[in-house]
Structure 1
Amino acid sequence: MRLLILGGTRFLGRALATDAVSRGWEVTAFHRGVSGPPPAGVAAVHGDRTQPGDLAPLAHRAWDAVVDTWDGPPQVVARSAAALEPACGRYVHVSSRSVYRDLSTRGLTELSPLVSVDGDTFGARKAAAEHAVLATYGDRALLARPGLVLGPHEQPERLVWWLRRLARGGDVPVPGPPELGLQCIDVRDLARWLLDAARSGLSGAYNVVSRPGHTTMGALLSTCAEASGSRARLRWVPTATVLAAGVRPWSDLPIWVPEDSDVRGLHETDAERAHATGLRCRPIAQTVAATWDWLTSTPGPVPAGGLGPEREAAILPGLDER
């Protein structure tokens, strides 16, 4: 397989490149050269896809598949898809489950209504990008809709945020209940499915994520504490208390989406179509362990975000301990 990755140096792009090289594929990463080199064995072509002319040299080669992970303006995806169409066998666009119109719905399927492509939300941009790819490639287009992607080289930091916080120890306020279900996918499992799907010629849209209830908040955080050797105490906070303190789900506290949230469907989506084609999601403990190993071997600045000490202290008094 001759694979072109638009990116290939960060998170999913890096996982795709690593997996494809291990299969013996001919892999090329088209990137700007600002995030470091791609993995060993990957040919690099420098360029900026927002500049239409930079893609032109790639259109003179033949690619069995192109994988596109862009999450910016959809016009960039439309131009890339059109520029590469003469040379591309299959175009794989990594979209998002944010394209669905009503994210409060449990059991969303690939046939559920989508948001309008005319909006300027993240979901609208992804829906517009999907539309552009389909218009150009038809049944040669594969649209993958993951969601919460975790694992080594994680960006943006979600699992990493919790690992860092638990590693610091002390009392950690955690939004309950512990049995709140989570739906996610390890970046390596997502990469493997995307490459398998490209090789086998799959087309259309797929929710590419674990089945609902793959893990829970309690299991995830306990596993994080174990992996990091933390002596932190998890202090479970009722949802009402957390929200009353002005804490924003998903952003102030990554991963967490309350049971009655208007985006709760992101943790309760129907993913059977992808699982029927061979998607397999490893246990969360393996994802956590690999992410901690990567994190501790890659020192760098600790990003801001999440709850600071003052906000934590404001909601801790009088809570039950577990």
Structure 2
Amino acid sequence: MRLLILGGSWFLGRALAERALASGWTVTTFNRGESRSDLPGVQAVRGNRERPEDFQRLAEHGPWDAVVDTIGFVPDQVLAAATALEPAAQQYVFVSSVNAYVGWPNEPLDEASQLFECPPDAGAGYGSELGYAGQYGALKAGCERAAEVVFGSSRTTVLRPSVILGPEEYVGRLTWWLARAARGGELLAPAPAQQGMQPIDVRDVAAFLALCAVDRKPGAFNVAAPIGHASFAALIESCIDATKADTRPVWVDPDWLIQQGVEQWTELPLWRTQKGVWAVNTSRAQSAGLRCRALSDTVFDTWAWMTRGGAAVRGEGEASRAADHGLSPEREAELLRTWHRPAL
């Protein structure tokens, strides 16, 4: 099996490269080589996806059984990549996002749900009037269309992940909760404790990507843990267990948190009150072979990575968003004091 990964040095791309190499595949990666080194064993081709001529040069290193695009964000760049690589590759697997759906996170979703409208040749400025999240979703939808325009529906696979967690995470969601649990004391947690959630381990996404590449599975797949797979309580309890800290969760009413101006998804990572955020139907992917490990396994393995020095790695590079997530200790302490204060 010959695999080309657009990306390959960060998080999902790296997890896929590790799995492919372990399976004895020949792996080529394409990236700028400016943020992190590639894994030993891959054939690294340097280039910038903003330059179409770099994709023409990349195609000379083929052929490949599949291309997996883990970093595509701008439709006209994906269009250029797909056009250059189509003669040298059998399948194009594009990693999109649930943000491509108009209804996320406000309503339950399946693969038939409405996508944003975006032409396959749109540039980076398309959809700026939609705000950051809307523009991101629209551009991802345009990228999906760009891949399919070139490779056709039978040779294009689209994965729409929800939240991906695990070792090497650079966004700062699970890593913040683990670092916070390790600090001990009262921990502010958003009620209800049994709120279901669907984060998926990066290694499980990589395994499904590999399966889609080998079997050349066409079409779109929502990629997340099954609905109800875990709960917020399971997340918090696993973080406390992993860090072995004297930490006590204080479950706080979500309406009160909103009244206090706590920012959902960022100040309290993974907390969001919209009814569709953890209501993504993944039955199609499950039927196609997606398997999801327990959230506790993801938590423990991520803590092990952090304690080996991964906390330093996650802060590197332009992709890192760890600084954007989590309550400051002072902000959390003030919220807890106010929550405990008797009503007058």
Question: How would you bin the TM-score normalised by the shorter chain?
Answer: over 0.9
Q: Choose which of 165, 168, 181 in structure 2 pairs with 1:150.
A: 165
Identify the match of residue 269 of structure 1 among 264, 277, 280: 280
Q: Distance in 1 between matches of 2:181 and 2:215?
A: 42
The amino acid across from 1:133 in the alignment is A
**Match of 1:125?**
139
The answer to whether the Cα contact below 8 Å between 2:108 and 2:277 also exists between their aligned partners in 1 is no
Work out whether 1:218 is the aligned partner of 2:218: no
| 1:283-294 map, 5 Å | 283-294=294-305
The CA deviation at 1:106 is 4.5
Question: Any idea what SS the aligned residue of 1:172 has?
Answer: strand
Shifted more, 131-140 versus 307-316: the winner is 307-316
Map Cα deviations across residues 95-151 of structure 1 (whole Å, 9 max, x no partner).
001111112554411011112225241110100101111111111000001110000
How far is 1:56 from its partner?
1.5
For residues 174-233 of structure 1, what are the alpha-carbon distances to aligned partners after superposition, in whole Å with 9 as ceiling and x for unaligned? Answer: 111100110111000000011111101101100011111111111111001110112122
Please list the CA deviations of residues 22-42 of structure 1 after superposition, one character each: whole Å capped at 9, or x if unmatched.
111000111111122222221
Greater shift in the superposed pair: 215-224 or 36-45 = 36-45
Which residue number in structure 2 is paired with residue 84 of structure 1? 85
- Please list, as runs of the form range in 1=range in 2, the aligned pairs for 1:34-73 lying within 5 A after superposition: 34-60=34-60, 61-73=62-74
Equivalent-residue separation in structure 2 for 1:73 and 1:30 (angstroms): 16
In structure 1, the residue matched to 2:123 is: none
Q: Secondary structure at the match of 1:178?
A: coil
User: Aligned to 2:175, which of 153, 160, 166?
Assistant: 160
Task: Tell me the distance in 2 between the aligned counterparts of 1:51 and 1:230.
Answer: 49
Structure 1 stretch 40-49 or stretch 181-190: which is displaced more?
40-49
Matches of residues 135-214 of structure 1 in structure 2 within 5 Å? 135-138=149-152, 139-214=154-229
Please state how far the C-alpha of 1:74 moved relative to its aligned partner.
Answer: 2.2
Matched length: 316
CA apart distance, 1:80: 1.0
Amino acid at match of 1:148: V
How far apart are the structure 1 equivalents of 2:138 and 2:216?
A: 27
Tell me, in whole angstroms, the C-alpha distance in 1 between the residues paired with 2:265 and 2:279.
15
Counterpart-to-counterpart distance in 1, 2:302 and 2:90: 34
Native 8 Å contact 1:241 1:315 kept in 2: no
Flag the 1:156–1:283 CA change in 2: closer, same or farther, 3 A.
same
Give the counterpart letter for 1:317 in structure 2. Answer: R
Among all aligned residue pairs of Structure 1 and Structure 2, give the percentage whose two residues are the same amino acid. 44
More displaced, 13-22 or 304-313?
304-313
Q: Aligned partner of 2:164: which letter?
A: V
Structure 1 CA distance, aligned partners of 2:268 and 2:76? 32
Structure 2 alignment gaps of length 5 or more: 119-125, 129-134, 316-321
Task: Output the CA distance in 1 between the equivalents of 2:191 and 2:9.
Answer: 36
Which letter does structure 1 place at the counterpart of 2:57? P
Partners of 1:266 and 1:318 lie apart in 2 by: 28
